[in-house]
């Protein structure tokens, strides 16, 4: 078979195809601004139809999604199904669909890509994760992230849309791993916030966090993810950003609980859509069922549920048997 | 140099040819296929062009520095294999491979290509099957009768006129989306992908297609099955292509993949067992690599590119998942033993299992006929190569029911293109999708449910004991018959609820039999076939005798264990569900 076209044929690349962002929240807006630096962007948002930005067309008309090649899905997890169902009416196999969710769907710890694939006809899906913040995207401050996708063209498209001199986009074919790392890191961020406020020293924080990475990696591998994904930007990178002073709401939640706030008050104080909290309970349930040790998730789930106080939580964690690393 | 590299000359001995080469009927009275005949009827006319296309494509794909590595890898693997084999094939080919190794480093690019061609062509020729409509028609008429005869010779004498009715139809019942299969096999190329628990599976599938007047399929069969001249004759003339599992070289794998790709591209309906080998554990396949079935995605992309250049839509490709559900599995004892040795995945071919023992076949079939419809084949709904449902017209449907164009999946910026990495990802997706289909299309048989209820009791009574500890508890666990009946009824009710939700199917016996009758039916089936007693009833107590075989039969219910467990059984069900993780 000679003369068969391949995806790397010259001439297939030209001007960057239209990028769409689904969801006009802070992160969706930041993605739109970043992508507007490389070409035309369609922002699907009902929040602010009058928004004026260079290269950005704001609309509430989902039918326009059909013209895009790459679509970022930046709608909070709890609204995701409905948003995807609506958007799915206008999509087909051409579209590349990438989400930025840090949540999990259910007690089986299924990830957002499952929803992407089951609610829309899109198959070329991916997840963007790592220490990419609103600031990094909006102000083009130097940073990096990782795209998990089994399809190389998805990572290439994200790189084409967001990458540039200030943003390094790495790729990984371990989509499940990247999604789980993004979701489970929320637990560790909570722990860091908690430990900082309760007055633990650097050694304690380092120990808890490192053992936490081992814990989430154990869960990930039980679900078919690669353990080295957890040593990458999606998990380890996010953690280092937290230690270096990022402002993720999970940190604030941990701090509030350490100060003795009730779980509800702490959630209110942290604000934002904290997907990590529901994650703790789900991971703990999953660990029990699958006989995987998840001490950190167990303790966090109990604390957030009001079953354990801060000091009891510390005693529980420190009182465990020590094994080999 | 090329002269020294010439291929081994074909041997002239007619007798040896008869023993080693597949036998074909002379073509004198073969007759021409007519317009309405299935595609495969004209395969023999295309055979040479298929072989040539496969060879040319494999040679074209292996370029540059990779070529030297590939040839080197093949040569060393082949020398290692042939030195162990020490047969005629070794005498023919060892010299060739040794010369290749000696001269490879000094070969020019052209010479390497020529060498590759010399390697690939005989491989493709060896793989390629044959299809003889006369043998097919003969088999269609005679094989069900033969099966019937083996199963029940007395009845055969009495009712010789309706011999076909006696055998396969009583043995194998067909259900599911057969109408859809009829329609789709006219519209596009069908790739049948069944679950795999027994060597009888391909027979069961072949028979079901013939009975339903569905077109025959081509399929790959291990070369070990071709050693028996009679089986070899039928296999070879009914579209089977030969897969020699002893050959480990990358080039050979490429030849196989290209062969199945070319066949699907050319519109031959195909059969693959995407689980690879038979399920050792008795569980439904949980992870599918798809292997050769994955080439359908590439085949579709190639067809889409060709069709686009002609301004047409490509011929669609449909995957049809089929679950094969046995009340008794011929090879159950060997398979579960292998599973428990944890060698299941490593050992490819069990050389001496029940499949090769005539007395086991006889015992098996006799037991099956008295059981009634002991094997249920369920044809699932068809999906396109990208996991989308298709309608009866063969159009791909989005989750919202909208018709979508499957070409969009192989399109990059408006053009259909080839992309092996993309197609590998689609194939993995498809594997996950098929696993879901298998679960939903499973038909739970009486033996499986009875085994599950008994095994769950065993788990419940042995807390903290691992699987291997449990399977050694022979004759130690007893259960009052009345308590068993209650537990069975509750479990069946929950299973029915799952069936109502479209999560699973249950066999008609389970619908009509009482709890007592179900237990009897299962015990009779097992006792008449398996060499060890699985369970027995003494003084109103059920005694669990063979936990290993119970494990095998109950494993089909692993995905549903937690949802069919009643009060008190939750922990046992969780442990049973966890068996899936140990696949």
On whether residue A214 sits in a domain, the answer given is yes
ipTM of the complex: 0.89
The answer on whether A25 is annotated among ligand-binding residues is yes
What integer pLDDT is reported at residue B554 of this predicted model? 95
Single residue among A151, A173, A195 that ends a domain in this structure: A173
pLDDT value of residue A244: 85
- Nearest residue of chain A to residue B385 (CA atoms): A123
Residue A254 inside a domain? The answer is yes
> Per residue in A73-91, pLDDT tens?
999 888 899 999 999 999 9
Domain identity same for A30 and A164: yes
Shared-domain flag, residues A110 and A238: no
A16, A81, A93: best to mutate for the B interface, most B CBs within 10 A: A93
Secondary structure string (H, E, C) spanning chain A: CCCCCECCCCCCCCCCCCEEEECCCHHHHHHHHHHHCCCCEEEECCCCCCCCECCEEEECCHHHHHHCCEEEECCCHHHHHHHHHHHHCCCCCCCEEEECCCCCCCCCCCCHHHHHHHHCCCCCEEEEECCCCHHHHHHCCCEEEEEECCCHHHHHHHHHHHCCCCEEEEEECCHHHHHHHHHHHHHHHHHHHHHHHHCCCHHHHHHHHHHHHHHHHHHHHHCCCCHHHHHCHHHHHHHHHHHCCCCCHHHHHHHHHHCCCCHHHHHHHHCCCCHHHHHHHHHHHHHHHHCCCCHHHHHHHHHHCCCCCHHHHHHHHHCCCCCCC
Query: Considering only residues 60 to 119 of chain B, which have any Cβ-Cβ distance to chain A shorter than 8 Å?
Result: 60
Average pLDDT of span B346-358: 53
pLDDT for A83: 95
Confidence at residue B138, expressed as pLDDT on a 0 to 100 scale:
76
**Rounded CA gap, A134 and A129, in Å?**
12
Q: What is the reported pLDDT for B377?
A: 93
SS (H, E, C) B28-95: CCCCCCCCCCCHHHHHHHHHHHHHHHHHHHHHHHCCHHHHHHHHHHHHHHHHHHHHHHCCHHHHHHHH
How is residue B122 written in tokens? 């005989």
Domain closes at, from A173, A205, A232: A173
Residue B15 confidence (pLDDT) above 60: no
Helix (H, G, I), strand (E, B) or coil at B283: coil
Q: How far is CA B74 from the centre of its chain?
A: 27
Q: How far apart are CA B211 and CA B170, in angstroms?
A: 12
Other CB atoms within a 10 A radius of the CB of residue B413 amount to: 15
Q: Please check whether residues A137 and A216 belong to one and the same domain.
A: no
For B:130-189, CB contacts with A below 8 A are: none
Res. B360: pLDDT tops 80? no
The total number of structural domains that make up chain A: 2
- Tens-digit pLDDT profile for residues B152-194: 444 444 444 444 444 556 678 899 999 999 999 999 999 999 9
Q: What is the pLDDT of residue B352?
A: 53
**Pairing relationship of beta strands A143-148 and A125-129 according to DSSP bridges:** antiparallel
Asked whether residue A163 is marked as a ligand-binding residue, the answer is no
Query: Is B408 within 8 Å of chain A by CB?
Result: yes
Residues A86, A204, single domain; the answer is: no
Residue A48 at interface with chain B, using a CB cutoff of 8 Å: no
Nearest CA in chain A to B258: A1
Q: Is the pLDDT of residue A46 over 60?
A: yes
Residue A116 lies in a domain: yes
What digits encode the pLDDT tens for the residues B468-477? Answer: 888 888 888 9
By residue count, chain B amounts to: 583
Q: What is the pLDDT of residues B190-227, one digit of tens each?
A: 999 999 988 788 878 888 888 888 888 888 877 776 66
Whether residue A217 sits in one domain with residue A161: no
The pLDDT assigned to A292 comes to 86
Q: Is the pLDDT at B76 greater than 50, yes or no? A: yes
Angstrom distance (rounded) from CA A189 to CA A206: 12
Q: Nearest-CA distance from A113 to chain B in Å?
A: 12
pLDDT tens digits for range B124-160: 988 887 777 777 777 777 666 555 554 444 444 444 4
Q: What is the pLDDT of residue B355?
A: 64
| CA–CA gap between residue B366 and residue B374 (Å, rounded) | 11
Residue A107 lies in a domain: yes
Q: Which residues of B touch A123 (CB under 8 A)?
A: 386-387, 409, 426, 429
Q: Out of A173, A207, A229, pick the residue that ends a domain.
A: A173
In a domain, A8, yes or no: no
Is A28 a known ligand-binding residue? yes
Whether residue A155 sits in one domain with residue A199: no
User: From the list B60, B402, B409, which residue is nearest A123 (CB)?
Assistant: B409
Q: Mutating which of A2, A19, A94 best tests the B interface, going by the most B Cβ atoms within 10 A?
A: A94
How many Å lie between the alpha carbon of B399 and the closest alpha carbon of chain A? Answer: 6
Query: Given pLDDT bands bounded at 50, 70 and 90, which one contains residue B91?
Result: confident
- A12 in a domain, yes or no? no
Same domain, yes or no: A46 and A69: yes
The pLDDT assigned to B56 comes to: 93
Q: Of B169, B135, B549, nearest to B335 (Cα)?
A: B549
Residue A4 has a pLDDT of: 47
Confidence (pLDDT) at B155: 45
> Does residue A200 sit in the same domain as residue A149?
no
Q: What CATH number is associated with residue A257?
A: 1.10.1040.10
The string of pLDDT tens digits covering residues B481-532 is: 999 999 999 999 999 999 999 999 999 999 999 999 999 999 988 887 888 8
Mean pLDDT score, B227-246: 75
Please judge whether B305 and A289 are an interchain contact, meaning their C-beta atoms are less than 8 angstroms apart. no
Q: What percent of chain A has pLDDT over 70?
A: 94
User: Taken in order B69, B72, B75, B80, is the CA torsion positive or negative?
Assistant: negative
Computed over every residue of chain A, the mean pLDDT equals 88
Does residue A9 sit within a domain? no
Q: In terms of CA atoms, which chain A residue is nearest residue B426?
A: A123
In this model, does residue A245 exceed pLDDT 70? yes
At residue B192, the pLDDT reads 95
- Write out pLDDT tens, residues B373-386: 678 999 999 999 99
The predicted structure's pLDDT at residue B234:
72
Smallest Cβ–Cβ distance between B386 and the set A88, A123, A290 belongs to: A123
CATH code of the domain containing A27: 3.40.50.720
Interface contact flag, B421 A151, Cβ < 8 Å: yes
Q: Which residues of B touch A5 (CB under 8 A)?
A: 305, 415-418
Residue with tokens 């690019």: B109
Segments forming the whole domain that contains residue A277: 182-318
Residues A251 and A193 in one domain: yes
> Collapsing DSSP states into helix, strand and coil, what is residue B543?
strand
Say what percent of chain B tops pLDDT 90: 49
Q: Determine which of A17, A109, A123 to mutate to test the interface with B (most B C-beta atoms within 10 Å).
A: A123
Q: Kindly tell me if the per-residue pLDDT of A102 is higher than 70.
A: yes
What is the nearest CA distance from A15 to chain B, expressed in angstroms? Answer: 11
Helices (H), B415-480: 420-441, 446-461, 467-471
Residues A201 and A312 in one domain: yes
- Among chain B residues, CA nearest to A122: B409
A168/A199 same-domain check? no
Task: Please tell me the predicted confidence (pLDDT) of residue B5.
Answer: 60
- Kindly list the residues from chain B whose CB atom is less than 8 angstroms away from the CB atom of residue A2: 60
CA distance A109 to chain B (A): 15
Nearest residue, CB atoms, B399 vs list A17, A69, A88:
A88
- Residue A325: inside a domain, yes or no? no
* Residue A24 is labelled as binding a ligand: yes
Measure the CA–CA gap between B526 and B518, rounded to whole angstroms: 12
pLDDT tens by residue, B394-452 = 999 999 999 999 999 999 999 999 999 999 999 999 999 999 999 999 999 999 999 99
pLDDT score recorded for residue A164: 83
Residue B233 is predicted with a pLDDT of: 73
pLDDT > 70? residue A203? yes
Mean pLDDT for chain B? 84
pLDDT above 90 coverage of chain A, percent:
49
Place of tokens 């069908």: B190
Same domain, A186 and A146: no
Which tens digits make up the pLDDT trace of A280-296? 888 998 888 888 889 98
């Amino acid at each position: 078979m000679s003369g068969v076209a391949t995806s790397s044929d010259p001439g297939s690349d030209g001007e960057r195809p239209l990028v769409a962002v689904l969801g006009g929240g802070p992160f969706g807006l930041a993605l739109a601004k970043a992508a507007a630096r490389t070409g035309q962007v369609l922002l699907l948002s009902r929040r602010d139809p009058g928004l004026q930005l260079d290269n950005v067309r704001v609309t509430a008309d989902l039918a326009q999604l059909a013209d895009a090649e790459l679509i970022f899905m930046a709608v909070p997890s709890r609204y995701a199904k409905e948003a995807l169902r609506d958007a799915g009416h206008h999509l087909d196999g051409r579209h590349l669909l990438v989400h930025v969710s840090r949540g999990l769907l259910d007690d089986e710890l299924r990830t957002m890509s499952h929803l992407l694939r089951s609610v829309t006809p899109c198959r070329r899906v991916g997840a963007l994760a790592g220490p990419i913040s609103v600031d990094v995207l909006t102000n083009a401050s130097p940073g990096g992230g990782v795209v998990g996708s089994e399809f190389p063209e998805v990572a290439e498209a994200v790189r084409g849309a967001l990458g540039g001199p200030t943003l390094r986009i790495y790729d990984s074919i371990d989509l499940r791993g990247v999604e789980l790392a993004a979701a489970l890191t929320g637990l560790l961020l909570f722990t860091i916030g908690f430990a900082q406020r309760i007055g633990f020293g650097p050694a304690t924080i380092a120990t808890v966090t490192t053992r936490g990475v081992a814990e989430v990696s154990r869960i990930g591998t039980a679900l078919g993810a690669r353990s080295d994904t957890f040593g990458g930007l999606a998990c380890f990178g996010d953690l280092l950003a937290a230690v270096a002073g990022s402002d993720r709401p999970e940190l604030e939640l941990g701090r509030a609980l350490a100060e003795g706030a009730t779980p509800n008050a702490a959630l209110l104080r942290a604000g934002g859509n904290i997907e990590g909290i529901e994650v703790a309970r789900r991971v703990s349930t999953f660990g029990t069922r699958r006989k995987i040790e998840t001490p950190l998730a167990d303790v966090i789930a109990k604390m957030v549920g009001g079953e354990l106080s801060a000091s009891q939580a510390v005693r529980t964690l420190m009182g465990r048997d020590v094994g080999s690393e | 140099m090329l002269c020294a590299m010439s291929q081994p000359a074909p041997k002239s001995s007619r007798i040896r040819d008869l023993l080693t080469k597949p036998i074909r009927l002379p073509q004198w009275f073969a007759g021409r296929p007519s317009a309405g005949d299935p595609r495969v009827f004209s395969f023999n006319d295309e055979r040479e062009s298929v072989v040539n296309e496969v060879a040319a494509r494999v040679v074209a794909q292996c370029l540059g520095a990779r070529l030297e590595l590939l040839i080197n890898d093949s040569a060393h693997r082949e020398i290692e294999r042939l030195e162990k084999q020490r047969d005629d094939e070794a005498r023919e080919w060892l010299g060739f491979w040794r010369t290749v190794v000696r001269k490879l480093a000094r070969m020019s690019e052209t010479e390497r290509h020529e060498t590759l061609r010399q390697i690939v062509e005989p491989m493709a020729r060896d793989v390629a099957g044959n299809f003889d409509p006369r043998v097919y028609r003969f088999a269609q008429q005679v094989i069900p009768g033969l099966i019937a005869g083996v199963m029940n010779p007395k009845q055969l004498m009495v009712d010789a006129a309706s011999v076909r009715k006696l055998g396969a139809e009583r043995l194998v019942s067909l259900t599911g989306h057969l109408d859809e299969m009829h329609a789709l096999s006219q519209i596009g190329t069908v790739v049948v992908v069944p679950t795999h628990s027994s060597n009888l599976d391909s027979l069961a599938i072949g028979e079901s297609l013939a009975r339903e007047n569905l077109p025959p399929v081509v399929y790959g069969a291990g070369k070990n099955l071709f050693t028996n001249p009679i089986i070899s004759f039928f296999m070879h003339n009914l579209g089977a292509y030969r897969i020699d599992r002893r050959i480990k070289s990358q080039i050979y794998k490429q030849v196989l993949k290209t062969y199945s790709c070319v066949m699907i591209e050319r519109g031959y309906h195909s059969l693959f067992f995407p689980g690879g080998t038979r399920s050792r554990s008795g569980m439904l396949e949980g992870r599918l690599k798809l292997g050769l079935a994955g080439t359908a995605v590439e085949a579709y992309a190639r067809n889409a590119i060709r069709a686009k250049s002609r301004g047409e839509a490509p011929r669609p490709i449909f995957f049809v998942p089929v679950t094969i559900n046995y009340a008794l599995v011929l090879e159950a004892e060997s398979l579960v033993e292998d599973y428990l040795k944890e060698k299941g995945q490593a050992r490819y071919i069990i050389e001496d299992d029940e499949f090769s023992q005539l007395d086991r076949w006889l015992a098996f079939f006799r037991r099956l006929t008295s059981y009634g419809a002991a094997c249920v084949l369920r044809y699932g709904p068809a999906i396109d190569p990208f996991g989308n449902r298709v309608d009866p017209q063969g159009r791909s449907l989005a989750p919202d029911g909208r018709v979508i164009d499957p070409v969009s999946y192989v399109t990059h910026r408006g053009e259909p293109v080839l992309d092996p990495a993309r197609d590998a990802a689609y194939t993995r997706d498809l594997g996950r999708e098929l696993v879901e289909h298998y679960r939903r299309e499973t038909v739970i048989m009486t033996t499986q449910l009875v085994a599950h209820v008994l095994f769950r009791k065993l788990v419940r009574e042995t807390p903290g004991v691992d699987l291997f500890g449990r399977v050694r508890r022979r004759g130690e666990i007893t259960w009052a018959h009345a308590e068993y009946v209650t537990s069975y009824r509750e479990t069946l009710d929950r299973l029915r609820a799952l069936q109502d939700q479209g999560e699973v199917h249950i066999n008609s016996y389970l619908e009509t039999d009482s709890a007592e009758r179900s237990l009897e039916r299962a015990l009779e089936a097992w006792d008449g076939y398996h060499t060890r007693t699985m369970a027995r009833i003494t003084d109103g107590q059920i005694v669990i005798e063979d936990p290993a075989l119970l494990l095998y039969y109950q494993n089909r219910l692993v995905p549903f264990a937690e949802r069919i467990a009643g009060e008190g059984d939750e922990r046992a069900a969780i442990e049973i569900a966890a068996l899936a993780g140990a696949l």
